[in-house]
Amino acid sequence: MIIEQSVYINASPEKVWRVFIEPEITRQMGGEYVSDWKADSFIGWKGNNGALYTHGKILDIRTEELLKHQLFDGKEAKAVLSIITYTLENNEGNTVLKGVEELSKPLGENERRGVVSAWESALNAVKRIAENL
């Protein structure tokens, strides 16, 4: 199952990228990514409360263009829950941010709606923060 969402952001790809990689900015979304931002490196989402909620591995990264990572199911990282790809497309100084999640397991209709809603919320949070930088 694949979930795709996109949002038009009135900000440059550089500003949108900062929302992902600069913890002091990212915390406005309720947490921060933990990573050294290199291919084959760890990536996780740590809430503002200090708890690590997700973890995975960066598969591909191109500054201000693309972030692709695995999301592991469980702490042992034995199974890939999904592969998430963010692309940032420069549109005359603004950005089209697209998120694609390739899930390893099918979802029921209610679960799918929940995931779509979460994606919409996340992308709109990035939009709000980037446009206010």
CATH, residue 10: 3.30.530.20
| Residue that the structure tokens 């990212």 belong to | 26
Question: Which domain covers residue 9, as residue numbers?
Answer: 2-131
Residues (pLDDT < 70) of the chain are 75-77
Return the pLDDT at 127: 98
pTM over 0.85: yes
Amino acid at 97: L
User: Please, how many CA atoms are within 13 Å of residue 67, restricted to the half-sphere of its CB?
Assistant: 25
Return the pLDDT at 86: 98
Q: What are phi and psi of 120, to 5 degrees?
A: -60, -45
For residue 1, give the DSSP letter.
-
Instruction: Render pLDDT for 2-21 as a digit per residue (tens, 0 to 9).
Output: 999 999 999 999 999 999 99
Return the pLDDT at 73: 80
Helices within 1-108 (DSSP H only)? 13-21, 23-26
Return the pLDDT at 77: 65
How many domains, in total, are found in the chain? Answer: 1
